[in-house]
Structure 1
Amino acid sequence: MANMISNSLSIKILNLLNEARQKVVPTVNHTMVLTYFGIGRMIVEEEQLGKERAGYGKQLLSDLSFNLTQEFGKGFSVTNLQ
């Protein structure tokens, strides 16, 4: 009898966790898209400095990549930031 109660409780908890994940994932994804869009906008504004086109050969993306990687780990390479 103990196993039946334990299994039933486990199933209820698993279902609750799966429901929570299904609700949280879209919210997290939406928030990350908005965050990355904001990061891109800030990079473009910084590179252009009010000009119509950005100047190239700057160290901005390399420095930003280094700083973000130090703080957050992988995922912020120069290529990803571009």
Structure 2
Amino acid sequence: CYVLIDLKMGTITHQDVGQIDMYVRMYDELKCKEGDNPTIGILLCGETSEDIARYSVLHDNDHLFMSKYLTYLPTKEQLRVEIERQKNIFYMQHPKLEKNDN
């Protein structure tokens, strides 16, 4: 499959999510051939938003992903806290999965 990556410097917005969704749909329609798997869209941003992750098209689309990137190395404690926060966002996006299924 093809993978499209969109890198945003600040906090993610609804427009950013709509934009990557549009890019993925356009790429599938214009470039994919028969037999190709669906294009995956990855949106990397400086700051995530739990509300946007929960209420946007990301919630219902298994081919769009959002994640936070860092421009520095975090401490072990900062990393642990961020991993837990991102796991909570993931489970909000995928309520059918249970937290103890990992």
Instruction: Using structure 1 for the length normalisation, give the TM-score.
Output: 0.33
Q: Which has the higher helix share?
A: 1
Greater RCO, 1 or 2 (C-alpha within 8 Å, sep 6+)? 2
Q: Which has the higher strand share?
A: 2
Instruction: Using structure 2 for the length normalisation, give the TM-score.
Output: 0.28
